[in-house]
Amino acid sequence: MNIDDNDTKTRSEAVANVLREEIIDGKWAPNAKLKTEQLKDRFKVSPATVRDALFVLMAEFLVRLEGQKGFRVAPLFLADALDLARTRALVESAALEDSLRTGGDKWEALITSEYFLLAKAEERMHLDPTGVIHEYERANDRFHEALVSASSSERLKTMRRTFFQEAKRYRRIVARKADGRKHDKKEHEDLLQACLCRDIERAKHLIAQHVQTSVAGLTAADFTAAEAELLDIEKAA
């Protein structure tokens, strides 16, 4: 893969974007070693550009640097999933409250249209779970992004986006369970209605509950199975 850009920052961002998507999609096993030399050759960039990209992903909690051992994909484990959900619930609630206080008619129109597209994507996913999963995830991203889009705090929105992206790795494990997304549609619908009614306390409660529900029912055994699956994918690559 060749990153065609003369600007070092842009090249490192491009490398980070590819690796971020691959890590979230489960194409790299937890704790997998990210070798600078191999990535340099793959992307046709300098070692410094690769390191810059990996430091970006470190800030997003997707990569870790272990002393002299180098960079590795961040591990997945139950305690971290629960901690991330608690943190996300706080940040999502704060961002949504700010958005509710400042958003106008255009914001209401935006969240309504994004909900409609999400509901349609979910209907198609029930018919073809594997074929449209990425379409569903993109629609889900846009709906949640729209909910907080009217917030006046860029820092809060950036934090929310970082935690949301990190949580996708755990959503993949949840999706493996038979009822992984069983309640999503109803929760999204209730959340939309609370926002349109400008019921701040109910909306905050619902978004926090929605985030916590996303990891409810996970057990240590789920992580053992998921890691084994990812290791098989890595070996086959």
The full set of domains in the chain, from first to last, is: 8-75 (1.10.10.10), 78-219 (1.20.120.530)
Q: What is the percent of the chain with per-residue pLDDT over 70, rounded to a whole number? A: 86
CB of 203 closer than 8 Å to CB of 150: no
Mean pLDDT for 172-197 is 80
Chain CA centroid to CA 217, Å: 19
pLDDT in tens, 185-218: 899 999 999 999 999 999 999 999 999 988 877 8
Q: What is the percent of the chain with per-residue pLDDT over 90, rounded to a whole number? A: 65
pLDDT in tens, 20-37: 999 988 889 899 999 999
For the chain, the C-alpha Rg in angstroms (whole number) is: 19
Query: Dihedrals φ, ψ of 33, to 5°?
Result: -80, 130
Helices vs strands, H then E, count in the chain: 10, 3
pLDDT in tens, 68-112: 789 999 999 899 999 999 999 999 999 999 999 999 999 999 999
Chain CA centroid to CA 74, Å: 14
Q: Is the pLDDT of residue 130 over 90?
A: no
Nearest partner of 24 among 134, 166, 125, judged by Cα: 166
pLDDT in tens, 30-65: 999 999 999 999 999 999 999 999 999 999 999 999
Residues in CB range of 200: below 8 A, 6 or more apart: 97, 100, 101
